[in-house]
Amino acid sequence: MTTIASQIYHALADEIAKGVMVPGQKLEEKVIAEKFGVSRTPVRDALRELGARGLIEMHPRRGGVVARIDTDQMADMLEAECEIEALCARLAAQRMSALEREQLYELHRQYTDCVGNQDLEGCRDINRKFHDAICRGAHSVTIAAMAVDLRVRLAPFRQHQAGPADVRLQQSLDEHQKIVDAIRANDAAAAFAALYEHNARLSAGVMRRFTAAAGK
């Protein structure tokens, strides 16, 4: 996607995750293009990406419609993400090269700096790179692709977390430390458990908010 299309994609995904755009709502290219002050081409690209991620349903001659994701589907995706990313961590502890481990540690150091500076955008960016590095470090193209696809699809729902930012960031930082320590120590079992527990905690928060929103 172009930069403009990516910006439109993230903006629309954010509105879907927040419930601003409700299931069944139609997304018209012309209306969206006017809203963002762009041509229809980047809007079309953004809608295709939303469709690929399962956030909208594309219908011939009707355009896009916000997908209906029920609580069972959300729980299923979150469970799969926990298991698959934890598997990536286990494999990364066994397969990562010394250079890859140090690169992961460097990302963790950068995340630590962002947490100390309360840099929320920086934390989101480094967090994505941190998880991507673990998935790549599994050295399994198929498993890594599954993990990344689930993470991207769930990202809009994960980014809205409850509680004070400083507390949330510190908790994630502490959990990342356990993941890094386990991978650098070649402790596959500990790496699996640390990443699983990290994602499971975040997933529980996503389900609480999603269930509450679905009940409105």
In order along its 216 residues, the chain shows pLDDT tens digits of 788 998 998 888 888 776 778 778 899 888 999 999 999 999 999 999 888 878 888 877 667 888 887 889 889 999 999 999 999 999 999 999 999 999 999 999 999 999 999 998 899 889 989 999 999 999 999 999 999 888 878 877 776 666 678 889 999 999 999 999 999 999 999 999 999 999 999 999 888 888 876 665
> CB count, 10 Å around CB of 181?
15
Query: Could you tell me which residues are beta bridge partners of residue 56?
Result: 66
> CA 101 from chain center: how many Å?
22
Q: What is the pLDDT of residues 80-91, one digit of tens each?
A: 999 999 999 999
* Whole-number pLDDT of residue 135: 96
* Whole-number pLDDT of residue 105: 97
What is the rounded distance in angstroms from the CA atom of residue 187 to the CA atom of residue 12?
40
Helix H segments across 68-187? 71-95, 98-116, 120-137, 141-158, 165-184
Token pair belonging to 158: 């994960």
Length of the chain: 216
**Residues ≥6 apart with Cβ < 8 Å to 145:** none
- Whether 16 and 55 have beta carbons less than 8 Å apart is answered as yes
**Residues ≥6 apart with Cβ < 8 Å to 157:** 17, 74, 206, 209, 210
